[in-house]
Amino acid sequence: MKVAITGGIGSGKSFVCRQLRDFGIKVYDCDDGAKRLLRSSTELQEKLMAVVGRDLYNNGILQKRILAEYILLSNDNAQRIDDIIHPAVAADFQRSGLDWLESAIFFDSGFDRRVHVDKVVCVTAPQEVRIARIMHRDGISRARALEWIGRQLPQDEVVRRSDYEIVNDGKADVGQQLISLLKEKLSF
């Protein structure tokens, strides 16, 4: 059974995935996969340079500033980059042999149409908890945290499109929710 873990920024997806790893479940992290591919896949690098320009990589090292400037120029540019990176990450997940993946933007990015999963688990937290986590983790203002949250699909929409919800509000026992999910719902 293939399972995706998703949820908005600050919801605690990474915490939930660490718990899953503690249970012996390996989880493919789409963000880590993308970063690794940006460093190591010459095919991906060539496709990106064809769109952004040859100066995107200097001696094989991604020039993040150049990529960020290109992406921020327009939504079309951001979409072009996503259309190159997301299929590469999806293919990498398929080759990984893993059954679980973590993607913050599983629905936002259309990743749900790129990989087959049997179930989607959404990690949620109240907005104020998410804001506090983001501010603390990234050292940013409340306004910036809200801006980042606002760039993603609303949490209730992600929950609606998911099969299961894990509440990670700092009060609910995430471990117990996972055990219940694994045993009762996913038959692990």
Q: Which residues, in sequence order, are CB contacts of 118 under 8 Å at separation 6+? A: 1, 2, 3
Residue 185 annotated as part of some ligand binding site? no
Residue 15 annotated as part of some ligand binding site? yes
- Please give the full DSSP string across 15-66, using - where no structure is assigned: HHHHHHHHTT--EEEHHHHHHHHHHH-HHHHHHHHHHH-GGGEETTEE-HHH
Residue 14 annotated as part of some ligand binding site? yes
What is the distance between the alpha carbons of residues 89 and 141, in angstroms, rounded to a whole number?
31
The phi and psi torsions of 124 (rounded to 5 degrees) equal -125, 160
Annotated binding site for ATP: 10-15
Query: Residues at the annotated binding site?
Result: 10-15
